[in-house]
Amino acid sequence: MPVLANTFLFVEPDDNYLNFGSVPMHQIVEANKQPGQDITELTGIDANPDKIRQILATKNPMVCSMIGHGSESVYTVQNLAPLLHAENPEELTLMKDRVVLLTSCLTATTLGPALIVAGATVYAGYKKEFWFYTGDSPGSSRAVQSPFIAEFQLIASLLRGKNTGEARADQLKKYDEEIAYWITGEGKNHADASELSRILELNKSISVFLGEASVSPSPQAGVLGAQINPAITFGVASIPIAYMIYKALA
Amino acid sequence: MSKELVARWFNKISEAEKDLPLLLSDGYAYTPRMTYTEVMNESALGTKLQALIESGRFGTSTLEEQAIAKVRLQQILASKPDKPMFATLSNKVFTARELMQEIESGTELGSQWVTNEIFHMTNIVRVR
Cβ <8 Å between B91 and A16: yes
Task: Please tell me the CATH code under which domain A4-220 is placed.
Answer: 3.40.50
Cβ <8 Å between B87 and A131: yes
E strand or H helix at A9, and its extent? Answer: strand A4-12
Round to whole Å and give the CA distance between A139 and A24.
6
Cβ <8 Å between A198 and B86: no
Prediction ipTM score: 0.91
CA distances from B103 to A56, A213, B58, B62, B79 (A): 42, 37, 21, 17, 16
Q: Would you give the end-to-end CA distance of chain B in angstroms?
A: 11
Which residue ranges make up each domain of chain A? 4-220
pTM, two decimals, is: 0.88
- Cα–chain-centroid distance for residue A189? 30
B113: which chain A residues are within 8 Å (Cβ-Cβ)?
A: 198, 202
Those of residues 18-57 in B touching chain A at CB distance below 8 A are none
Per-residue pLDDT of chain A (250 residues; tens, 9 = 90+): 789 999 999 999 999 999 999 999 999 999 999 999 999 999 999 999 999 999 999 999 999 999 999 999 999 999 999 999 999 999 999 999 999 999 999 999 999 999 999 999 999 999 999 999 999 999 999 999 999 999 999 999 999 999 999 999 999 999 999 999 999 999 999 999 999 999 999 999 999 999 999 999 998 665 444 433 334 333 434 444 444 444 444 4
Q: Is B39:B5 a contact under the CB 8 Å cutoff?
A: no
- B36 backbone dihedrals φ, ψ, rounded to 5°: -60, -45
Q: Is B14 on the interface with A (CB under 8 A)?
A: yes
Q: What is the pLDDT of residue A237?
A: 42
Q: Is A218:A135 a contact under the CB 8 Å cutoff?
A: no
B14: which chain A residues are within 8 Å (Cβ-Cβ)?
A: 182-184, 188-189, 193-194
